[in-house]
Structure 1
Amino acid sequence: MTAAPIDFYFDFSSPYGYFASTRIDDLARQYGRSVAWHPILLGVVFKTTGMAPLPQIPLKGDYSWRDFERTARHHGIAYRRPSNFPLPTTQAARAMLWLQNHHAADVAVRFAKAVYHAYFVDDINIAEPAELVKIAAALDIDANAMDAGASSQPIKDQLKAEMEVAMAKGVFGSPFVIVDGEPYWGFDRFDQIEALLKSGTPTELRAVPSPDLKEKKPA
């Protein structure tokens, strides 16, 4: 029986989501798995959790900018701090949903990766629909059809519904990965995700040998 796809939830304005986007497909492929990409809107999630973008949180803000750069260097991922952060990503999320509905999944994923690269490497304002059109056109996608579709009421309704489903599953951040029902939040959990894919058992559920507490007799 074919294993279920790995669910990958991300916001286009999430640095850690961007880092995860460069790794998730290769990681899944190593273990014969596919990935279902789900664009989400952290702004909607934050209304429920009461959280805010990391750089806007006192004390955590400066640290988070440092950690974004450090994480990118550590993993060899191209990254440049965006001039404007965060940006609204509703149109980008809707555009990806339209592509998933009207094209092969790999087309939508290529678009998603190109949008991430545009924002976190080329410092392009991905909140502008015109910039999304340019990105789509560069990928030989019918950009005008995508732009119109992304602004249609059915796609708006679909994104709203998919956000409700995601949050019902417990999704509250980006990246958020669910593997066979097991949830993982954050790019720093990818080692645990790989351990699960390798063994089939979540790390926290594996038996850990108890230390030998018996007093040893002197030799």
Structure 2
Amino acid sequence: MPEPIDFYFDFSSPYSYVAANLIDALADRHIRSVTWRPILLGPVFEVSGNRPLNAQPMKGDYMRHDVPRLCRRHGIPFAWPEPFPIATVAAARAVYALWDQDAEQAIRFAKAVFRAYFANGRNIGETDGVLAVAADEGIDAAALGQAIQDPAIKARTKAAVDHAIKLKVCGAPFFLVDEEPFWGVDRLPLMDEWMARGGW
């Protein structure tokens, strides 16, 4: 079996939301699984010197036009949430807390968190919002709430972000295919060709 695709994302990234809706179909075409790796863009930007797109003149306006267009193109439900952007540390910790127990459940949960924020306008920036999504998905919210506060999960999340930075993950979404980096949802067609051809 080919190696999994590593998918780095931030729950506050609208382009990550688009990628989250497309990556599984792409992976399936190449008989690959996907390892979902939530990160926090704040620490990444501190190292890269970048800023959130919505804080950048012109680029922010383009993003606000482009993301709904992308979602219409792919049939992905979308509505700009308020507030935007938000802190996503609780959601990221929740995914890591679930991953070791049941990776498929962790992925379903991650997709539900994305939908809650970018399709249904629910604030997942606070722990209560994250746990409400978990409860909707049939996950023990009380147990997950305890896990989010577990020092081991906090340390694991920080280590995951630090490792992503070490790998030069400079934004989200970001993908590694057999250690080959691809940044941005617009690189999915290039990834598709890369895997089909075995690189070049």
Answer whether TM exceeds 0.5 for this pair. Answer: yes
Tell me the residue number matched to 2:198. 200
Per-residue CA deviations over 1:49-103 (Å, capped at 9, x if unaligned) read 12111011012111110111111112221110112110000000001100012x2
What is the Cα deviation at residue 19 of structure 1? Answer: 0.3
- Which is further off, 178-187 or 128-137? 128-137
- Which is further off, 176-185 or 60-69? 60-69
Normalising by structure 1, report the TM-score.
Answer: 0.89
Tell me the residue number matched to 2:168. 170
- 1:152 and 1:39 mapped to 2: Cα distance? 17
Q: Secondary structure at the match of 2:105?
A: helix
Q: Secondary structure at the match of 1:51?
A: coil
Tell me the residue number matched to 2:82. 83
State whether structure 2 residue 10 is matched by structure 1 residue 6.
no
Per-residue CA deviations over 1:114-162 (Å, capped at 9, x if unaligned) read 0000000000110121111111111111111111101111111111111
Please show how residues 64-79 of structure 1 align to structure 2 within 5 Å: 64-79=63-78
Please show how residues 1-219 of structure 1 align to structure 2 within 5 Å: 2-101=1-100, 103-201=101-199, 205=200
- 1:43 and 1:68 mapped to 2: Cα distance? 21
Query: How many residues of Structure 1 are paired with residues of Structure 2 in the alignment?
Result: 200
**4+ runs of 1 displaced by more than 6 Å?**
none
- 1:4 and 1:63 mapped to 2: Cα distance? 35
Larger radius of gyration: 1
What is the Cα deviation at residue 199 of structure 1? Answer: 1.1
What is the Cα deviation at residue 168 of structure 1? Answer: 1.0
Q: Secondary structure at the match of 2:123?
A: coil
Structure 2 alignment gaps of length 5 or more: none
Tell me the residue number matched to 1:210. none
Highest RCO, 1 vs 2 (Cα 8 Å, sep ≥ 6): 2
Structure 1 alignment gaps of length 5 or more: 206-219
Identity %: 45
- 1:59 and 1:137 mapped to 2: Cα distance? 39
- 2:118 and 2:171 mapped to 1: Cα distance? 18
Tell me the residue number matched to 1:211. none
What is the Cα deviation at residue 17 of structure 1? Answer: 0.2
Normalising by structure 2, report the TM-score.
Answer: 0.97
CA RMSD of aligned residues (A): 0.9
Q: Secondary structure at the match of 1:27?
A: helix
